[in-house]
Chain A
Amino acid sequence: MLEQIFQFLVAGITVGSIYALVGLGFALIYNASDVVNFAQGEFVMLGAMTAIALLGAGLPLALAAIAATLLTALTGLLLERCAIEPAHGASVVTTIIITIGAAIFLRGVASLLWGKNSLPLPAFSGNEPINLGGATLLPQSLWVLGGTVLLVGLTRAFLNRTLLGKALLACSFNPAAAQLVGINVKVMLRLAYGLSAGLGAIAGILAAPITFSSYEAGIMLGLKGFSAAIVGGIGNPMGAVAGGLLLGILEALGAGLISSGYKDAIAFVFVLMVLFFEPTGLFGHKVAERV
């Protein structure tokens, strides 16, 4: 029994890391522009699918992964430039619908380019399971965990230590004031979308050998990432990471101990409970409502 729970925990932390990376992408864009990007999951899907396609075209895995990340980052940048920027100053409902439209659009493009089947990406370093005190672990899980730790650390350092990162945060606190001290808010927003899309793509590539990918793989991943951001307190990058891990573990335990069919329902019941009782998130700051 204890061994089983340990196994579920390992699986939960792996899935949770992916949610954490998606949630981190949400938090980056939300931080810079107060927009929740419902197309975040599609960046994850695009990263994985582009890498699979490039690999199929004969590129080595490392090169395919890097190229896919860059291409997805470019897509994110284009999305900001072509769909979000023209609707500047729109209401929350309007921006939500624009990003939902973008998500459906990207899904459509993906299904047109790569069909509707689930495609795999080969594992980075084999499929030989590692035995870990009674639980087994795929080498790819280590890649996911390592990648997450690295990316979270880099993002944290970027936001807190570099001038560019601080400028990005300034845009979220007060865009007008940021503009006044010489920060080009427009460029910062594009940067945020590009970075967030790139992060999503890396998450997708790391996860693809375990979960496979298809044109609609981004829907649930995006929603879980958004849930992670909300559970952690929206706009708090490290909260999103914690929220993602928590959600992943809860889901794996729920799937293992209660019912695997209901695992999505369990995750969303948890999110609803957080929203009802602690709407600022478990790790968020209490914000006074502006009238």
Chain B
Amino acid sequence: MRLAGFFVFAVAVILLPILFPDDYFVTVVGIAAGLHVILAVGLNLLMGYAGQISLGHAAFFGMGGYASAILTTRFDWPGWLALLAGLLVAGTIAWLLARPILRLRGHYLAMATLGFGIIIHVVMVQATEWTGGPDGLGGIPPLNLLGWTVDSDQQWYWVIAAAMLLIIWLSLNIVDSRIGRALRAVRGSELAAQMIGIDTARTKTQVFVVSALFAAFAGSLFAHQQAFVSPDSFSLMISVELVTMVVLGGMASTFGAACGAIALTLLHEGLVVFEDYEMIIHGGLLMAVMIFLPQGLFVGLTQGVQRLWMLISSRRNAKACQAEVNTHAL
């Protein structure tokens, strides 16, 4: 029952390419959406559940991407080993950074994560001999999994879909575990959480590392899928977009974050025609959602439906009671 939503989502993800084979929106947009879901679900653990804003999450995405790109093209490492190395790098940096950075709150935390993201971005642009500089790094070989080479759009769809479902399943389980409850306590009140014996610094470190790992994982897949990485894919704007996905869907809801990621990906795809208006719509949307539906589209809608349902069922109950009273009166 707890994972019912997960199974519905999984069935939809599996059915899509079967119902619409070779459809551009499924295989091309679907891959982008899947990667965004992984990133948003990871960021949501940090932002939604633990209440810690990060405006530099693209940095971890980039670390995964560049680790895979550099190790496979310059050192001929196999893809899976490069992916693990990317996870190790991002995880270690997140772990080292977590304690000093997560001691900060609110605006200070926003500034610190933002600064971190910019520093990493500058390194990507400037360390030309390693990263290829602003022109990026191409020629990344296709991913090879146990002898199976992933190189067509359809194959990528299945790999990304599997990765995405794994991440969602992990996230649902983390949220429902002891750590997940500790996270929500931290968001509610850090002092109160400490009073009931939660090591808040440790809990925040753990969630920061986990969300960095998710992002680096997505980064490695992204690098192989695109066969090319450049600093543009990991800029400040990307960090802001990731935050948009989380708040658009609804904070503190794994499916909310997933829906936000899919919605924003589709929106970008749809807005290609209105390229000049893209920023206006993006910015306007961000403001409107935060002002009118601060709990997010997905969470706001499900709460609305729930309330409507309760209203209808209470009316029905009232009617049934009335009918019963009437028959007794007769």
| Residue among A87, A230, A262, A275 making CB contact with B290, cutoff 8 Å | A87
Size of the chain A interface, CB-CB below 8 angstroms: 43
A176 at the interface (CB under 8 A from B): no
User: Given that A104-B282, A107-B279 are known contacts, is A265 also in contact with B122, CB under 8 Å in the complex?
Assistant: yes
User: Given that A96-B107, A279-B108 are known contacts, is A223 also in contact with B126, CB under 8 Å in the complex?
Assistant: no
User: Given that A223-B114, A265-B123 are known contacts, is A92 also in contact with B106, CB under 8 Å in the complex?
Assistant: yes
Q: Are A105 and B279 in contact (CB under 8 A)?
A: yes
Q: Are A102 and B283 in contact (CB under 8 A)?
A: yes
Chain B residue nearest in CB terms to A281: B108
Chain B residue nearest in CB terms to A260: B126
A106 at the interface (CB under 8 A from B): yes
Q: Are A219 and B236 in contact (CB under 8 A)?
A: yes
Q: Are B280 and A112 in contact (CB under 8 A)?
A: yes
Q: Are B290 and A104 in contact (CB under 8 A)?
A: no
A271 to B107, CA, bound (A): 13
Q: Are A272 and B112 in contact (CB under 8 A)?
A: yes
Among B110-143, those with CB < 8 Å from A are 110-112, 114-116, 118-119, 122-123, 125-126
Closest chain B CB from A86 CB (angstroms): 5
| Residue among B107, B126, B280, B294 making CB contact with A105, cutoff 8 Å | B280
Closest chain B CB from A290 CB (angstroms): 11
Chain A hits for B223, CB < 8 A: none
Binary interface encoding of chain A residues 70-102 relative to chain B, with 1 for a CB under 8 A from any of its CBs, else 0 = 000000000000010011001111101110111
User: Given that A36-B107, A227-B111, A264-B122 are known contacts, is A106 also in contact with B294, CB under 8 Å in the complex?
Assistant: no
Q: Are B126 and A259 in contact (CB under 8 A)?
A: yes
The majority secondary structure among interface residues of chain B is: helix
A84 to B51, CA, bound (A): 21
Chain A hits for B105, CB < 8 A: 92
Chain B hits for A94, CB < 8 A: 290, 294
- Contacts across chains A and B counted by CB atoms under 8 Å: 125
User: Given that A83-B287, A111-B276, A276-B100 are known contacts, is A93 also in contact with B118, CB under 8 Å in the complex?
Assistant: no
B183 at the interface (CB under 8 A from A): no
Counting chain B CB atoms within 10 Å of each CB, which of A105, A226, A227, A234 scores highest?
A105
B47 at the interface (CB under 8 A from A): yes
| Residue among B112, B116, B244, B282 making CB contact with A108, cutoff 8 Å | B282
Q: Are B126 and A101 in contact (CB under 8 A)?
A: no
Among A236-291, those with CB < 8 Å from B are 259, 261-262, 264-265, 268-269, 271-272, 275-276, 279, 291
Q: Are A262 and B122 in contact (CB under 8 A)?
A: yes
The majority secondary structure among interface residues of chain A is: helix
Chain B hits for A20, CB < 8 A: none
Chain B hits for A92, CB < 8 A: 53, 105-107
| Residue among A96, A105, A275 making CB contact with B53, cutoff 8 Å | A96
| Residue among A93, A100, A271 making CB contact with B240, cutoff 8 Å | A100
Chain B hits for A272, CB < 8 A: 112, 115-116, 119
User: Given that A87-B290, A108-B277, A276-B100 are known contacts, is A268 also in contact with B115, CB under 8 Å in the complex?
Assistant: yes
A169 at the interface (CB under 8 A from B): no
A223 to B278, CA, bound (A): 23
Chain B hits for A291, CB < 8 A: 189, 191
Q: Are A105 and B283 in contact (CB under 8 A)?
A: yes
Q: Are A93 and B236 in contact (CB under 8 A)?
A: no
A83 to B112, CA, bound (A): 25
A109 at the interface (CB under 8 A from B): yes
A192 at the interface (CB under 8 A from B): no
A111 to B313, CA, bound (A): 51
B284 at the interface (CB under 8 A from A): yes
A103 to B237, CA, bound (A): 11
A106 to B279, CA, bound (A): 8
User: Given that A36-B110, A261-B125, A271-B111 are known contacts, is A108 also in contact with B287, CB under 8 Å in the complex?
Assistant: no
Further contacts, 12 of them, CB under 8 A, given A105-B283, A227-B115, A272-B119: A97-B243, A101-B282, A104-B282, A105-B279, A105-B280, A105-B282, A112-B276, A272-B115, A272-B116, A275-B112, A276-B100, A276-B101
A-B contact pairs, 18 of them (CB 8 A): A87-B290, A90-B294, A94-B290, A96-B110, A98-B286, A98-B290, A100-B243, A104-B283, A226-B111, A230-B108, A261-B125, A261-B126, A264-B118, A265-B119, A269-B115, A275-B104, A275-B108, A275-B111
> Which 10 pairs across A and B sit closest by C-beta, in order of nearness?
A108-B279, A105-B283, A101-B286, A104-B283, A108-B280, A268-B115, A101-B287, A265-B122, A92-B106, A261-B126
